[in-house]
Structure 1
Amino acid sequence: MCRIHGHFDADLSPHDMRAAGALQRHGGPDEARLAQGAGWALGSNRLAITDPGGGQQPYESADGRIKAVFNGEIYNHDELRAQLRAGGHHFADRCDGAVLPALHQEHGPAFAEQLDGMFAVALIDLRAEPTLVLATDDAGMKPIYYRWDGRRLHFASELPALLAMGRERPSLWEPGLDSYLATKTPFGEHTLVEGVQVLPPGTTAVCSRSRGLRLHRRPAPERPAVTGGEPGEQVREALAEEVRRLSVADARVCAITSGGLDSSLVTAMMADAAPGAVHSFNIAYHGEWPHDERHFAREVARRAGTEHHQVELDVARFPELLPAVAWHLGQPNADPIALSTYGLFEAVHRAGFKVALTGDAADEVFAGYGRIHKAMTTHGTWLPDYVDALAAIPAEARPRLYSADYRAFVAERGSASDAITERLRQEAAHRSRLDVLTDFETLVRLPAYHLRRVDHLSMAHAVEVRLPFCQRSVRELARALPQSHRLSPEPGRGKVALYAAARGLLPRSVLERPKQPFTLPITAMLAPGTPLWAYTREVLSPARLRAGGLLDPAAVDRLLCAQQNRPADCLALATWSLLMFELWREEFAVRRAASRPAEARELLEVAS
Structure 2
Amino acid sequence: MTQLGTAGGDRLRGTFSTRADGRPGRATDDVAVWVEGRIHYSAEIRARLAGRGGGGRPSSGLRCLLRSLYLAHGVDFARGLDGEFAVVVADRRGPRRLVACTDRSGVRRLYYTWRPEEQRVRFATELPALLGMAGVDVAEHEGALDAYLAAGAQLGEHTMFRGVKVLPPGAALLVSPDGPRLRTRPEEDTEPDRADLTRRPGARLRALLHEQLLGLPAADPVAVITSGRPGADLLARVAAASGRPFHVFHGGWPSAARGIAGVPRPGRTPRTTHHWVEVRPDTVPDRLWRPLGQLGQPHADPELLLTHVLCGAAQEAGSRAIVAGGGGDELFAGHPRVADALSAPAGLAWVPRYLDQLAAVPRALRTRLYTAEYASSLRRHGPALPAGLTELLNDGEHGRARRVLTAELRYVLPAQGLRVLPSLARSTPVLPYCRPSVVRLATSLADRDATAPRPAQVLAEAARGLPLLGPPRPAPEIFSPELTRALVPGRPLGDLARDVLSDADLRADGRLRPDRVAALFARQRMQPTALVARTLWALLVHRLWRHRFFGPSRYPQDAGEASAASPLAFGP
- The TM-score with structure 1 as length reference comes to 0.79
CA distance in 2, matches of 1:260, 1:168: 39
State which of 144, 147, 155 in structure 2 corresponds to 1:187: 155
1:177 aligns with 2:185: no
SS at match of 2:352: helix
How far apart, CA to CA, are the structure 2 residues paired with 1:168 and 1:373?
Answer: 42
Q: Which residue of 1 aligns with 2:131?
A: 163
Q: Check if 1:253 corresponds to 2:261.
A: no
Query: Quick one: which amino acid aligns to residue 470 of structure 1?
Result: C
- 1:574 Cα shift? 0.2
- Partner in structure 2 of residue 208 of structure 1: 176
Return closer, same or farther for 1:454/1:297 CA change in 2, 3 Å cut-off: farther
Contact 1:9 1:40 (C-alpha < 8 Å) held by counterparts: no
Residue of structure 1 aligned with 2:332, choices 349, 366, 375: 366
- Structure 1 window deviating more from structure 2 (80-89 vs 526-535): it is 80-89
Per-residue deviation, 1:281: 0.9
Secondary structure in structure 2 of the residue aligned to 1:186: coil
1:487-566 superposed matches below 5 A: 493-507=454-468, 513-514=474-475, 516-517=477-478, 521-566=482-527
Aligned residue in 1 for 2:570: none
**SS state at 1:75 partner:** strand
What is the deviation of 1:120?
Answer: 0.6
Offset at 1:76? Answer: 1.4
> How far apart are residue 392 of structure 1 and its match?
1.3
Which residue of 1 is the match for residue 405 of structure 2?
Answer: 438
Q: Deviations over 1:249-307 (max 9, x none)?
A: 764321113334322322233344454x211112245x5569999945449x7556411
Matched position secondary structure for 2:364 = coil
Query: What residue in structure 1 maps to residue 16 of structure 2?
Result: 8
- Size of the aligned set, in residue pairs, is 534
- Equivalents in 2 of 1:67, 1:281: separation in Å? 40
Q: Is the 8 A contact 1:271 1:305 kept in 2?
A: yes
Give 2:311's match in structure 1, choosing from 324, 345, 356: 345
Indicate how the Cα distance of structure 1 residues 233 and 97 shifts in structure 2: closer, same or farther if over 3 A, else same: farther
How far did residue 394 of structure 1 move? 1.3
Query: Identity rate of aligned residues, in percent?
Result: 35
Contact 2:114 2:121 (8 Å CA) reproduced = yes
Among candidates 18, 36, 60, match of residue 71 of structure 1: 36
CA distance in 2, matches of 1:290, 1:395: 36
> Per the alignment, do residues 510 and 132 of structure 1 end up closer, same or farther by CA in structure 2, a change over 3 Å counting?
farther
2:203 counterpart (233, 236, 245): 233
> Deviation at 1:168?
6.0
- Distance in 2 (CA, whole Å) between partners of 1:512 and 1:361 is 20
2:417 corresponds to: 450
Q: 2:15 is paired with a residue of what secondary structure?
A: strand
The match for 1:393 is: 361
1:189 touches 1:199 (CA, 8 Å); kept in 2?
yes
Question: Contact 1:185–1:333 at 8 Å: present in 2 too?
Answer: yes
Partners of 1:103 and 1:284 in 2: CA distance: 44
Number of the residue aligned with 1:466: 430
Q: For residues 180 and 135 of structure 1, what CA distance do their matches in structure 2 show?
A: 25
Partner deviation per Cα, 1:211-243 (whole Å, 9 max, x = no partner): 532322112222224422222222222232233
Q: CA deviation at 1:200?
A: 0.6
Q: CA deviation at 1:507?
A: 2.7
Distance in 1 between the 2:424 and 2:261 partners?
21
- Tell me, in whole angstroms, the C-alpha distance in 2 between the residues paired with 1:545 and 1:95: 54
- Alignment-derived partner of residue 131 in structure 1: 97
Task: Give the secondary-structure state (helix, strand or coil) at the position aligned to 2:175.
Answer: strand
3-state SS in 2 of match to 1:239: helix
> Which position in structure 2 is the counterpart of 1:267?
236
Q: Deviations along 1:419-446, whole A, 9 cap, x unmatched?
A: 5785245424x43122211111111111
Counterparts in 2 of 1:103 and 1:412: CA distance versus 1, 3 Å? closer
**CA separation of 1:379/1:180 partners in 2, compared to 1, >3 Å: closer, same or farther?**
same
Contact 2:113 2:163 in 1 (8 A): yes
Question: 2:186 aligns to what SS in structure 1?
Answer: coil
Q: Is the 8 A contact 1:8 1:39 kept in 2?
A: no
Counterparts of 2:181 and 2:111 in 1: how far apart (Å)? Answer: 15
In 2, distance between residues paired with 1:179 and 1:256? 30
User: 1:257–1:297: 8 Å Cα contact kept in structure 2?
Assistant: no
Deviates more, 1:149-158 or 1:356-365: 149-158
Contact 1:163 1:170 (C-alpha < 8 Å) held by counterparts: yes
Quote the Cα distance in structure 1 between the aligned partners of 2:452 and 2:471: 18
Q: Shift of the alpha carbon at 1:313? A: 3.5
Residue number in structure 1 paired with 2:111: 145
Q: Which AA in structure 2 matches 1:554?
A: D
- Determine if the alignment matches structure 1 residue 580 to structure 2 residue 541: yes
For 1:40-96, what per-residue CA distance to the aligned partner results, in whole angstroms no more than 9, with x for missing partners? Answer: 57xxxxxxxxxxxxxxxxxx8xx8333222121112179958985994599998864
* Distance in 2 between residues matched to 1:215 and 1:255, nearest whole Å: 36
Report whether the alignment pairs 1:480 with 2:488: no
Q: Which residue of 1 aligns with 2:4?
A: none
2:563 corresponds to which residue? none
Distance 1:111 1:200 in 2: 17
For 1:474, give the aligned amino acid. V
Task: Measure, in 2, the Cα distance between the counterparts of 1:140 and 1:391.
Answer: 20
Q: Is the 8 A contact 1:284 1:294 kept in 2?
A: no
Q: 1:49 maps to which residue?
A: none
Change (3 A) 1:78 1:294: farther
Given the two structures, how large is their TM-score scaled by the length of structure 2? Answer: 0.83
Q: 1:332 to 1:137 in 2, by over 3 A?
A: same
Given that residues 30 and 92 in structure 2 are in contact (C-alpha distance below 8 angstroms), is that contact kept between their aligned partners in structure 1?
yes
Aligned amino acid, residue 326 of structure 2:
D
* CA distance in structure 2 between the aligned counterparts of 1:197 and 1:384, rounded to whole angstroms: 27
* Distance in structure 2 (CA, Å) of the matches to 1:314 and 1:104: 50
8 A contact 1:485–1:495 mirrored in 2: no
Give per-residue Cα distances to partners, 1:386-420, cap 9 Å, x unaligned. Answer: 21111111111112212231022235655526957
How far apart, CA to CA, are the structure 2 residues paired with 1:127 and 1:147?
23
Q: Which residue of 2 aligns with 1:34?
A: none
Q: Distance in 1 between matches of 2:68 and 2:233?
A: 39
**One-letter code aligned to 1:216:** R
Instruction: Give ranges in structure 1 of 5+ residues lacking alignment.
Output: 12-36, 42-59, 592-608
Q: Per-residue deviation at 1:129?
A: 3.4
Looking at structure 2, the residues matched to 291 and 410 of structure 1 have their Cα atoms a distance apart, in angstroms, of 47
Partner SS for 1:537: helix
- Secondary structure in 2 matching 1:588: helix
1:84-103 to 2 correspondences below 5 Å: 87=53, 96-97=62-63, 99-103=65-69
The whole-number CA distance in structure 2 between the counterparts of 1:522 and 1:403 is: 28
Is residue 170–residue 193 contact of structure 1 (8 Å, CA) maintained in 2?
yes
Aligned Cα RMSD in Å? 3.5
Alpha carbons of structure 1 residues 120 and 508: separation in structure 2 relative to 1, 3 Å:
closer
1:411–1:560 distance in 2 versus 1, CA, 3 Å: farther
Deviations 1:442-473 (A, max 9, x none): 111110122112232222xxx43211001111
Contact kept in structure 1, 2:252 and 2:279, CA below 8 Å: yes
In structure 2, stretches of 5+ residues that fail to align are: 1-6, 553-572
One-letter identity of the residue aligned with 1:241: E
Equivalent-residue separation in structure 2 for 1:355 and 1:487 (angstroms): 38
Per-residue deviation, 1:182: 0.9
Deviation at 1:347, TM superposition (A): 1.7
Distance across 1 between alignment mates of 2:481 and 2:322: 21
